[in-house]
Structure 1
């Protein structure tokens, strides 16, 4: 389409470098600053997904507004996950994660003309096939959509017996908690739960004022040992740093809860070690 409009490939690359365009998938471009919406995401996927294909995994989640890419992931080109049902000719599309996959009856739903895995099938696939901590975030987010129950999620695990990633799915699915509000919060909770001897974190713990009215919430907190961890993403929290500082100071001084702040570096950096910081958090507050 760009070539038909007289725009050569090198010009598209230059426009991306100048942040005039964003490349969503291989050969799929978006004018920078275009508001995100379900219709926009569906239109983008439709450009790379043949009509007979099934949109799966992270792309099926993305169509529903769930992004399991780490912060800054939008700066690289995400491969779309588009598969054919088993028994058909294997599909190979440049720049697309494709192939064939077995689907049971009821695993596929149509969304605005796209054939997409159902929310629960998408959750099973994320839990099996994504890296462990991102898989936890994907499971939490998919359950948060409200299209299936935790019981349904757990009941379907054994259909994948013997398949890739089922051991991880068995471990993560019982831990799912829809109260988590972001991928990093889910990842941080899993790191916390994996540390022996630490308390169990509660997502979005409410903090009440003296009149019993909820005043604030903490991303993750152990209400027994009175420690909390919060995630500050650069994009979201940069404009509310002062407000967060006031909130945390009030909680620390009036409720005696020690709060540790985690950032992208702590969770996604090259030398990230959130478990060490979590253990240190308990030690600091104990002193």
Structure 2
């Protein structure tokens, strides 16, 4: 390509079959993929690497490979709504497509489509960007039922934060599935969900604290310092440890690694220390590892014996 405004297939997503009809053999497709000229959006769906990700692109890609009688659900529905439920998890290759078929049809089984047998109640399906997809409320319920607890909570938090539904709508939707598998987990996590949460790491950290039997921390605590307003991921404004209030922050590898990030974090935490806040930085290993140092340290600060062992 000689100019940035020239895109393979005019910048639209395309399948392997469409590439072949356009004169691309398998070797050329693999070569362009290896050289970073194209990227995979879904299994067997590609797009020019210069085309940015967008909800429109995701919908167009799904339209190419989703069976006409299928309903997009679970993680793929969340992805179509702009919610990533794959944080920290490895997945084998590009995103698979979660679908279901209402009624008594068999679940769809294709190489690029994962079929699910799932109850569909009246009002659970909508037309979104030309696709049949479970509504945000139904999507939230089924993610809460079927994902592991930490991923389920971070998905609920993200959907609430994005305004796809509110807490009342979430609880009402869960109430429509009183005896379905996984609904007890969904009910519990709905109580823990918080629309103020801004990252999956904050969700996982809050779940660790709650599972340990600690009081529910306040999300996104706003604190005025001499340098301006600061926000703390999770905090206990009404509890003091050695004369300072307690705050916890999840430092992700992506945003809190390197010299510049370390200097920025140290500066803001000194500002918070000046106004009476003790900040405990928490890394991925503290949340996901086998050690229970986090529970013991926070338990000492709060004066509470942690509930162990860890649930996940």
- TM-score relative to the length of structure 2: 0.79
Match of 1:34, SS state, is coil
**1:231 counterpart residue number:** 250
| Residues 229 and 262, structure 1, Cα contact 8 Å, conserved in 2 | no
Q: Does 1:222 align with 2:236?
A: yes
How far did 1:218 drift? 0.8
Partner of 1:142: 159
Secondary structure of the residue aligned to 1:233 is coil
Secondary structure of the residue that 1:167 maps to in structure 2?
helix
Partner of 1:168: 185
Separation in 1, partners of 2:104, 2:302: 59
Q: Give deviations 1:195-248, integer Å, cap 9, x for gaps.
A: 12x3431111111136xx961101112221422222233334458613232112
Q: 1:257 aligns with which of 273, 278, 282?
A: 278
Change beyond 3 A, Cα 1:188–1:274: farther
Distance in 1, Cα, partners of 2:87 & 2:253: 12
**Deviation of residue 45 (structure 1)?**
1.6
Q: Distance in 1 between matches of 2:33 and 2:292?
A: 37
77-86 or 171-180: bigger deviation = 77-86
Identify the residue that residue 78 of structure 1 maps to in structure 2. Answer: 95
Residue by residue, what CA displacement relative to the aligned partner does 1:40-83 show, whole Å, maximum 9, x if unpaired? Answer: 11112212212221110111111111101124757832221111
170 and 222 in structure 1: CA distance in 2 versus 1, 3 angstrom threshold: same
CA distance in 2, matches of 1:203, 1:275: 22
TM-score scaled by structure 1?
0.85
User: Could you tell me how far apart the structure 1 residues matched to 2:44 and 2:146 are?
Assistant: 25
**Equivalent residue of 1:50, what SS?**
coil
- How far is the alpha carbon of 1:85 from its aligned partner? 0.8
| Residue aligning to 1:276 | 293
The whole-number CA distance in structure 1 between the counterparts of 2:302 and 2:197 is: 24
CA distance in 2, matches of 1:185, 1:163: 28
CA contact (8 A) 2:225 2:272 kept: no
Paired residue for 1:63?
80
Match runs of 1:32-47 below 5 Å: 32-47=49-64
Q: In 2, Cα distance between the equivalents of 1:238 and 1:33?
A: 27
- Provide the aligned length of Structure 1 versus Structure 2: 279
Contact 2:108 2:114 in 1 (8 A): no
State the partner residue of 1:201.
Answer: 217
When structure 1 is superposed on structure 2, of 61-70 and 223-232 the one drifting more is 223-232
RMSD: 2.7
Give the superposition deviation at 1:174. Answer: 1.3
